[in-house]
Amino acid sequence: MKQKWMVLFLLALLSALGVPAEAARAEKKIGVLMWSEDPAYYETWKGIMDQLKKEGLVEPLVSISLVNARGGKAKLSEMAHRFALAKMDVVVTIGTSATIAAAREIQDRPLVFAYVYDPVESGIVRKLESSGNNTTGASSGVSMPKVLNYLQEFSQVRRLAVLYTPGETNSELQLHALQKALADSHVKVVPVIISREEEVIPLLQVVVPAVDAIYLSGSRIVSKQVSVIVDMATKARVITITHRDDLVDRGVLLGICANPYLVGRLAGEKIVKVLKGGRPSSIPIGYLSRFDLKLNMKTAKAGGFRPSPSFMKSVTKLVE
């Protein structure tokens, strides 16, 4: 009680002497910008928070403003602009779209991104070792050739549909990566553009019978409609595969995933470094060293898929 009165007294004294109130506060302002309500993003955010807590960066030392654009690009720009005006000590972005929007608005403050699939191809950083600008962060990228190796090991696939959403950078980059990886193989990539939720069913009605496997890219619409997509594909014994950890939990058959929580922890480390005075350009972009090979057994049973024993040995996580 005594201490509290002492603090109040000191604050009153500082005000009387004309010292600005902001200078009296030692806390750091962290603005967090999330692209959508994707569960993976919240998982990432959980990782970030845990890492900050581990480093002792909790209130009142830090003040955190978390905003979510809920998939709206205009809203995203407006929120990024508001963070720019608020002169945050660090702006944290979760998701590629959020990162691109924030990077456009904020160049004079550190920006730490998390769960960005390919920061270089997205144009956020110049190199992985050094961003060359005010950004650093942790990527959720996985190696597409590795993904395809696992897929071929699971089953012989000739036609692979890639569900993507135009305008969502992550989603488009994943399509590009798959096209590049399969350019010289006998597997044909069939891009399936999905720009609205209501298009999912009519499109899949024609796509599912024409392909052997479906890749679910990091699209907000794909994420929302995952159960419908998996259901339609599984009924036709078509393999569903993704790099998104949470989508496997929600039904996708196969996943070669970067754990979003771990990506969040990695991003948390970068935030701590920045708050301690580190220059973002000198902090290299973080990647997870290990990926999970996840298999959704429920979907496997429903579709009558029988993975080989050798494949099962490689599986690191089974979703029951």
Partner 1 sequence: MSDKKVKDSISFRFQALISGILLISTAAISIMIGINERAMLYRTLSSKGQGLASYIAKLSQDPLIMKDYVQLDGIINEANKDEDIIYAIIQDPQGKTLTSQYASINYRLPRVKTLLSGLARDSELPEVIEAIQKKEAVFTVSVPIMAGTDVLGKVSIGMSEYMINQEIKKTITYILALNLTAMFTLGAILFFAFKRIIFNPITELVQATSRLARGDLTTKVVASGGGEIRILIDSFNQMAENLGARTSELLEAQEELVRKEKLAILGQLSGSVGHELRNPLGVMSNAVYYLKMVLSDADQTTKEYLEIIKQEIDNSLRIISDLLDFARTKPPQRQSLAAKELVRQSLKRCSIPENVIVTVDIPEALPSLNVDPPQMGQVLTNFITNAVQAMPEGGALRIAARFAGAGIAPAKPGCLEGAPPQFFVEISVTDTGTGISPENREKLFQPLFTTKTKGIGLGLVVCKNLVAANGGRIEVESEPGHETTFTVCLPAIEI
Q: Which residues contact partner 1 (rule: CB under 8 A)? A: 158-159, 164, 166-167, 172, 175-176, 188, 190-193, 195, 199, 202-203, 205-207, 209-211
Instruction: Supply the minimum distance, in Å, between the C-beta of residue 272 and partner 1.
Output: 37
SS3 308: coil
Instruction: Supply the minimum distance, in Å, between the C-beta of residue 175 and partner 1.
Output: 6
- Angle at CA 230, nearest 5°, toward 253 and 249? 50
Instruction: Give start and end residues of each alpha helix (H) in 241-288.
Output: 245-249, 260-275
Instruction: Supply the minimum distance, in Å, between the C-beta of residue 155 and partner 1.
Output: 16
Judged by CB, which is closer to partner 1: 222, or 267? 222
Judged by CB, which is closer to partner 1: 34, or 232? 232
Residue 196 CB coordination number (10 Å) = 9
Instruction: Supply the minimum distance, in Å, between the C-beta of residue 239 and partner 1.
Output: 15
Q: What is the DSSP string of 4-28?
A: HHHHHHHHHHHHHTT--HHHH---E
Residue type for 303, please?
A: G
In the chain the beta strands, taken as DSSP E runs, fall at 28-34, 62-68, 90-94, 111-116, 135-139, 159-164, 188-193, 213-216, 239-242, 254-257, 292-296, 317-319
Judged by CB, which is closer to partner 1: 72, or 167? 167
Judged by CB, which is closer to partner 1: 25, or 158? 158
Residue 145: which residues within 8 A CB-CB, separation 6 or more?
Answer: 181
Judged by CB, which is closer to partner 1: 91, or 189? 189
* Residue with tokens 């980059």, as numbered in its chain: 173
Can the peptide bond before residue 309 be classed as cis, meaning omega within 30 degrees of 0? no
Report the alpha-carbon distance of residue 261 to residue 2 in Å, rounded. 42
Instruction: Supply the minimum distance, in Å, between the C-beta of residue 126 and partner 1.
Output: 19
Judged by CB, which is closer to partner 1: 19, or 123? 123
Residue 85 CB coordination number (10 Å) = 10
Instruction: Supply the minimum distance, in Å, between the C-beta of residue 202 and partner 1.
Output: 6
Judged by CB, which is closer to partner 1: 174, or 281? 174
Instruction: Supply the minimum distance, in Å, between the C-beta of residue 144 and partner 1.
Output: 15
Judged by CB, which is closer to partner 1: 72, or 166? 166
Instruction: Supply the minimum distance, in Å, between the C-beta of residue 137 and partner 1.
Output: 24
Question: Distance from CA of residue 183 to its chain's centroid?
Answer: 26
Backbone angles phi, psi at 278, to 5 degrees: -70, 140
Half-sphere exposure of 204 (CA within 13 A, CB side): 27
